[in-house]
Amino acid sequence: MKPLTYDDVFKFGLTLPGSEEGKAWGTPVLRVNGTIFTGIPIHKSAEPNSVMFRVDFADRDLLIAEQPDVYYTAAHYENYPCVLVRLPRLNRDALEDLVRMAHRYSSRPRVKKRASGAARSRKSRTRR
């Protein structure tokens, strides 16, 4: 069986609704509704031949706990909802599941953050 490549990730990702290829920080990414759901990590803390998938923190923790030889995070990525994947250790079924998971997570409508109490107070004072 031939090892998976970035092209395999992107080829499958582009079959999902609303997916489009683009660039971010000079590297290829896939977006849905303007949100990156997978791409090639560029920070030096990521291992070579890794792919980043945007997933919920809880899902990331489960993936890493179940298969730490395949899934991981690195210092730069810990505060972001994503998991890093050692692509040569992933099989095609797991890849497709992961791409779907990242696409679904990134497709969700974003919740807008409410302004803090101080910011609301300043706004109301300027309107008077």
Give per-residue pLDDT as tens, 76-94.
Answer: 999 999 999 999 999 999 9
Give per-residue pLDDT as tens, 109-121.
Answer: 765 555 555 444 4
The pLDDT value recorded for residue 40 is 93
Q: Look up residue 81 and give its DSSP letter.
A: S
The pLDDT value recorded for residue 42 is 87
Give a yes or no: residue 36 inside a domain: yes
**Cα separation, 86 vs 40, whole angstroms:** 11
Give a yes or no: residue 123 inside a domain: yes
Give a yes or no: residue 75 inside a domain: yes
Q: Can you list the positions of beta strands (E) in the chain? A: 19-24, 27-32, 35-39, 50-54, 71-72, 82-86
Per-residue pLDDT, averaged over 98-102, amounts to 96
In the predicted structure, residue 15 carries a pLDDT above the cut 60: yes
CATH of the domain at 33: 3.90.1150.30
Give a yes or no: residue 1 inside a domain: no
The pLDDT value recorded for residue 2 is 81
- 88, two tokens: 């040569």
The pLDDT value recorded for residue 41 is 92
Domain tally, the chain: 1
Mean pLDDT score across all residues of the chain: 86
Domain coverage including residue 120: 6-127
